[in-house]
Structure formats: structure tokens, C-alpha cells
Structure 1
């Protein structure tokens, strides 16, 4: 089953979306000294497409005039196409700022056509663009519905009914012959289909019939799909100089949308991303500020990296204005398949816990989020160290070097042992302690002063259990007892 989505983007330069213009300023886009498009405020002042520059200035003297920027339009269309690769690998570029997506194989994955269209609109909003969206069983039909804003058609019969009411001016090969078509009373595609085909071909060319047949599903369509590059690097030129890092999040979100499309198209997951904040050029040029985020578990969606970037940008202090953003993915790996576990792990998956740790690190700092790291040492107070949570541990290797524990160890080990007093030759801690285990002898640390201890599990009169040890001293010296841990 083939189902196509057509997206038609407005042909406006990127400066139209600049936040620096006040609400009282109209914007007019010119092409060869004629008005190509106008903002709602300019239209309210009387500016219309096709009007000359002088007429537009006369109707709206305060309007900002821009020449059409084909290069910026092409870059914007390429950025949108790259982001949409996360929904289907079959994305093609159509005429007149239109993208065509073959989503027939993606409907079940995204929960149907309605859910998929909502996700498409959300991605476009994150990119900062708006588009007319349509669906049709054929690519040319989706293109025509998107160009005219005629809505959706999921069946071929519905598509034919919608096509019959569209104006003939939508077909590019027919535009030189609009006066002749108007003279013979042929104004819609339905009326065009009732004209004699041989005469229409001789008069207007074979391209007209080919487009019409392709739109109605009577002719096969061939496309050159947009391919993702071998490596990812996306850049965004900002509209103004930004001196607050938190304001850069919307631009980073646009770049992350492109990254997600590239990852899905290449079947990759990203392990580390690098966001470069570009500063002024020229005589006052300075190197960019680089924000790197390492992910414990590779991801190919933007929700988690976006949260981490938000936290990092909120803590970043800028030494100079930012004029551009560049996002790179220096470390990627093949995308891991989805888990086939029948019953989910209680308390969330391992990936959920790692994402929580990464969010805490971004918010609190690397030095404030630690994890235990076992060490190959017999002495309890030296058998563990605290390291940053993102460091890889080799606990299985460390445990293999340590002998198996035959006696229980407490869950709570005191930071510093407490010396106990003796009463009637028995250690005392709130009450006399009674030994309930044989001794466990621990001896080590010959490189910085040998320590020799005999550890016992002791019970108090309140039936609490303690881990105590006795120093092994030579000669006739009275041994000293210490409390080192408590059992739960």
C-alpha cells in the first residue's frame, strides 16, 4: 500500500521568522522588483502579490523589504527533509518548495495516519516552519492537494473527486496556456480531463498528460530519494546576536530534529554530541564555546538530549555574543533493536535510570553525582571509592580478585571507626556487647603501615547487631576495640 504525504512550505526567506521585528512592522518579499509574498500586516495595509516595489512602499511605507533568497530557501528545505527522515526513509523533493513522503510502510509504526500527521506537524513546529499538509494515494495527487490546501484523500475515489475541483493553474506546464484555457471555458482539472487527449498533447505538450495521469494513479511515478550524508554536521545562522545561553535552546532544538532524521536514516544511535556556539568574526574573532554531552546509553530520539542541553545551556556563562550554532555527532554506533522482553523490568529500565543520572549530572555537575567503585583491597575502608557516575566500572574484574566473603558484612560502614570502652573485659556500646560470630582476621596495607584486626559480629542488649574489631597488638598491651559498622 502506498500512501503519500505532501508538505508545501511557504517560499519566504528565513529573515521573515526573525524575532527582532516588532509587531507593528510588515514584511514584504520581492522577486525581480515585484512582490512575491507579504506578511499579514503588510496585506492588511493593501500590499498584494505581483505589486511593484514602489506600489508596495506607497501602501505600506514602514514595511521591511527583502529580496528573495533562493539559497536560504534551499537550505531550509534540505533541513526540513533531513528532519523528516525520522518518519520514513523515502523522502523526495517536489516542485515549488514541496516535499513528498511515502509513508505507507510507516503507518503501523506511528499509530496511523492521524498520529503520523500530528508528529509531522510537531517536528515542523520544532524546526520553526509551517506547511500545508495533505495525504493521497499518489505522489502527484499529494503534491496538488498540498499546493492548493485541499486537505486529505485516503482513497483513490476521494482523490479523483478532489482533483476535479482544483484549478488548472496548479499544473506548471499549463501556466503558459491559461488565457487559452480560460477562453474555451476549461478552468478545473476535471474539465481538463474531458478535453480530447491528442489535441491537448499537441497544443500543451505531453508533460500535462503525464502529470494528470500520475495524479490519478494511471501512470507509475519515479523519484530520486533524499539520501543522508555519511556524517552529520548541521549549522544554524542566528538572526541576531544572543548574549543569553538559555535563549539558544530553540535553535538547538532545530538542529536536534535534523540529527534525529539523520540517525534514523542511517540506522545509528548517538553516544556523544557537540554543540558549538560561534562568536563574532573579524578582528574580534574568538574560538567557539563548545558544549559536549556524553550519553551513557546511545539514543536516536531528541527528548533526552534536549533535556540535557537545556540544563547545560542554563549553566553556561557566555563571554561574547553568539551568532551561530553548529551541531555535530562525533560518536555514533549501530542502532540497537528494541527489547523483546515480555515483562518490563520493575522500577523502569536500565536506560531510564541512566537518563535520570545524566540529567542529574547536567543539573548538579559531574563532581556531585557519584557511584561506588570497588577496589581490590582487604581493608573495608579502602575497598571502595566514589567516582563520577558516567565512568565505566569493571566491577566484575575487581570482584574476581577478591576472595569470597564467608562472614556477613554490614550495609552501613562508618566513615571513621569509633573506639569502644571496656566494662568487665567486654566492649561496651550503650550496653555490653556479646560476640555471636567467630573472628575474621584482616591484615593488609604493608606499603603504608600494616593493619591487623580481628572482626566480630556483636549483639547488644537491644538485639541490634554491630560490626566491631579488635586491634592485634604485640606484647602485653591491652587490645583496643572499635565499632566499624552496623547491620540493618
Structure 2
């Protein structure tokens, strides 16, 4: 079944300047000194579409006024379409800032049309935009419904009924003929459809009839599908300077939403993300502040990335205001298929463990989250080093060794002797043959030891050793406690 979702952005020209703007903000966008978009607060004060700049200033002297930025609107519209590619690989553009999504093959994957529409609306909201969403069996029909009522229908006959109630002005191709159509009493699309087609064709413009036939499903629709770029690097210029890094969180979140759509469309997963916070340019130029995010587990979903970058931004101190944010997918790899295990791993999957490590690194710093990196050395105190979890440990060739304790003391404890046996809370009785270690002659740190597993009166197991070389005055070699078994 062919089904379309239309996402109409009625306030795009205003929201490129004020993402997530409040209804209490009086803001207008001007085109050739006339109002083309206004916030709800400005409309309540009397501002109307087409009003001149002077009239706006008379009503709202402190209103925020912006000249229309067509380039920023096109960039925002393209970024929104990229973000929505996570729901379908087929997207195209329609008139008046409308995005069309072919979601007929995605309904089962996302759990039905209602769930899918909610997810699409949430994605648009993450970008700082507001949208009117509709769905219909035809792309042009869904676009017309989104620009007027936002109705949703899955049946062809219901689509005809909804379209028939729409004003003629809803059809962009009919705008040049509105006065003539109004003069003959044609006010709705149903009235327009009842007019003699031959008379309309003699007017010399068949585009209006073609658009009407496509909306009703009487003619095939042609689409120029959105082409996904081979690499991802998006930039959002801020409408005002930001003094604190954590205030750029919403902008970074919008870019990450676009990144996840791009990754899904390209069937990729990201392993390294680079964020640049741009500062002043010109004579007082300041180099951008760069955030490098290395991932232990490739991902293509934004929830984990947003959590990591939120931690990094909260700890970041900047030396100059932020004027723009750039996000780039520095390293990617093919998307791995989902796990097909019937039962979940107890205590979380390996992916959950890696995401926890990444979150700790983002919160505490890579130098404060360490893991053990074994070294090729027979001396127990030299056989390990601690390094950052972001640094992979070099693999060692496995060799058979006697049992080792889970708790190795930082510094061996000298043991006293009682009745010719080492004593630690009680007399220790060796329960294993000796393990001889002689190493370190190559760097002047020679050790000559015989290790034993010893048992105390409480049945705890200890790892002790005796020095094989005693004192030069004939003193017997000492015993030491070096570790404990769990």
C-alpha cells in the first residue's frame, strides 16, 4: 500500500531565527519591507501578513524584526528532511516548506501510522521546529491536507471527501486564477473539480489540472527524491551569541538528529563525532573549540550521543561567545545487524557495558577511567599497568600460569614467624607447591622468590612468598604477604 506523510513547516521563516521560540516573543519576518511571518504574540497585538515595517513598529516598538533568510530556510528544510530519513529512504520536497515521506513500507517496522506520526513530530520538535503533519494515499493530497487542516486518512474515498472541503487557495497552482474562480463561484476543490475540463484547458494552463489529478490519485506522481550526501558535516549559525557551552545543547541535539537520519539512510554507524564551537571572526578571531567524541561501540541512534555530548558540554569552559555550531561524522563504518539472541544478556549486553564506559569518560574524563593492561613480565608487581579505557591494551600471548589472587597488594607486607611458620592473624599453612620467580636482572630490579598458596585458621587463602636470597649476615630470608584470594 502506498501511503504518504506530509510534514508542513508553517513557521520555518521565523523559527530559523528563534528555534523553540515561546509564544510570548513578539517576532516578525519581513520580505521587501512587508511582514511574511509573525509569532502568535505579534499576531495578537494586531500584526498581519503583508503589513509594512512602519505599521509593525507602531504596534510593537520593541518587536524582534528579521529580514527573510532564504538560504537559512533552505538549509534548515534540507536538514529536517535528512533527519526524517530514519523513517523512510524516500523523501522529497513540495511547495511551501513541505516534506513528503513515502512510509508505506515503514508502517509495520514502527508499529502503525499513529506511532510513526508521533515519532516524526518528536523528531521535528528536536530540531526546534513546529510542524503540521498529515497522511494520505497520495503525496499531493497529503501536502494539501497538511497546509490546511492536518487531517489524516488511509482510504482513497475519504481522501476525496477531505480534499473536496478545502478552499481553492490551498492549491498552489490555482493562486494565479483566484479572482476569476471566485467570480464564478468556485470556492472549494470539489467545485473546481466539477468545472468543465475543456474550458479550463483552454485557459492555457494545465498545471492546475495536473496538480488536482495527482492529489486525487487520478494521475501518476513524479518525485525528485532527496539525495543523501556521501559525508556528513552540518553547520547551524546561531541567531544570538551564547556565553556558556552548555547553552549550545539544543543546537547540538538538532545536529545529532540530522546525523542519525543520515546514518540510517547510508546504512552506517558512527565511531567518532567532532563538534566545533565557532567564535568571533575577523580581526578578533578566536580559534574554534573542538570536542572529539570517541565511541567504543558504533552507534546510529541519537539518545546515547546526546547524553555523552551533554556531559562534555557541561564540563567545557569557553573563552569567547559561540556564534555557530558545526557537527561532523569523523569516522564511520557499516551498520552492524541487530543481535538475534532469544534471551537478553544478564546484567546487560556488551553494548550496554561500552555505553556505560563512554558515559563515565564523558563525565569524569578519559584520564580518570582506567583499565588493566597486562605486561609481559614474570614479576607480579610489574605485570600490569593502568591506562585509559580509550587506549586499547596490547594483546599478550597466553601462557599457562599457576593460580593468581584477585587482590594483589600495592606493597607486600612482611610477616612474622611463629613456630617456624609465617603468621598473619593465625599460622599460615602452605597448601601448594612452590612457584619460583627469578626475573628483573636486566634492569637492576632483581627478585628471587618462592610463592605459595597458604591457608589460615579461618580457611582464607593467601598468596605469600619467601625470599630465596637472605641477608649477608646469615639472617634467614623473610616471608611476605603479596595477595589474597577471593
TM-score category by the smaller chain?
over 0.9
Superposed CA offset, 1:9-36 (max 9, x none): 124244641689994x622322233322
- 2:115 aligned residue: 115
Structure 2 gaps, min length 5 = none
Question: How does 1:33-432 map onto structure 2 within 5 Å?
Answer: 33-203=33-203, 205-395=205-395, 398-400=396-398, 403-405=399-401, 407-432=402-427
CA RMSD of aligned residues (A): 1.9
Does the 8 Å contact 2:14/2:37 carry over to 1? no
Deviation at 1:70, TM superposition (A): 1.6
CA distance in 1, matches of 2:407, 2:17: 63
Does the 8 Å contact 1:13/1:72 carry over to 2? no
CA distance in 1, matches of 2:77, 2:96: 11
Does the 8 Å contact 1:361/1:368 carry over to 2? yes
- 1:435 aligned residue: 430
Deviation at 1:371, TM superposition (A): 0.8
Report the CA distance shift for 1:426/1:153 in structure 2 as closer, same or farther (over 3 A). same
- 1:484 aligned residue: 482
- Which secondary structure does the structure 1 equivalent of 2:324 belong to? strand
CA distance in 1, matches of 2:213, 2:22: 46
- Which secondary structure does the structure 2 equivalent of 1:50 belong to? coil
CA distance in 1, matches of 2:293, 2:306: 11
CA distance in 2, matches of 1:239, 1:35: 19
CA distance in 1, matches of 2:417, 2:59: 100
Equivalent of 2:465, from 462, 465, 469?
469
CA distance in 2, matches of 1:204, 1:134: 32
Moved over 6 A (4+): 18-22
Larger mean CA deviation between 379-388 and 354-363 belongs to 379-388
CA distance in 2, matches of 1:22, 1:165: 30
Structure 1 gaps, min length 5 = none
Deviation at 1:58, TM superposition (A): 3.6
Q: How many residues align?
A: 482
CA distance in 2, matches of 1:67, 1:198: 44
- 1:17 aligned residue: 18
Does the 8 Å contact 1:107/1:113 carry over to 2? yes
- Which secondary structure does the structure 2 equivalent of 1:6 belong to? strand
Larger mean CA deviation between 417-426 and 52-61 belongs to 52-61
Superposed CA offset, 1:364-397 (max 9, x none): 11121111111111111211211111222344xx
The alignment's TM-score, normalised by the length of structure 2, stands at: 0.95
Larger mean CA deviation between 264-273 and 45-54 belongs to 45-54
CA distance in 2, matches of 1:362, 1:435: 47
CA distance in 2, matches of 1:43, 1:470: 89
Does the 8 Å contact 1:83/1:123 carry over to 2? yes
Report the CA distance shift for 1:331/1:16 in structure 2 as closer, same or farther (over 3 A). closer
Report the CA distance shift for 1:6/1:21 in structure 2 as closer, same or farther (over 3 A). closer
CA distance in 1, matches of 2:319, 2:174: 57
CA distance in 2, matches of 1:362, 1:15: 30
- 1:5 aligned residue: 5
Does the 8 Å contact 2:16/2:73 carry over to 1? no
Larger mean CA deviation between 59-68 and 92-101 belongs to 59-68
Deviation at 1:204, TM superposition (A): 5.7
The alignment's TM-score, normalised by the length of structure 1, stands at: 0.94
- 1:29 aligned residue: 29
Deviation at 1:66, TM superposition (A): 2.9
Larger mean CA deviation between 370-379 and 38-47 belongs to 38-47
Does the 8 Å contact 1:418/1:483 carry over to 2? yes
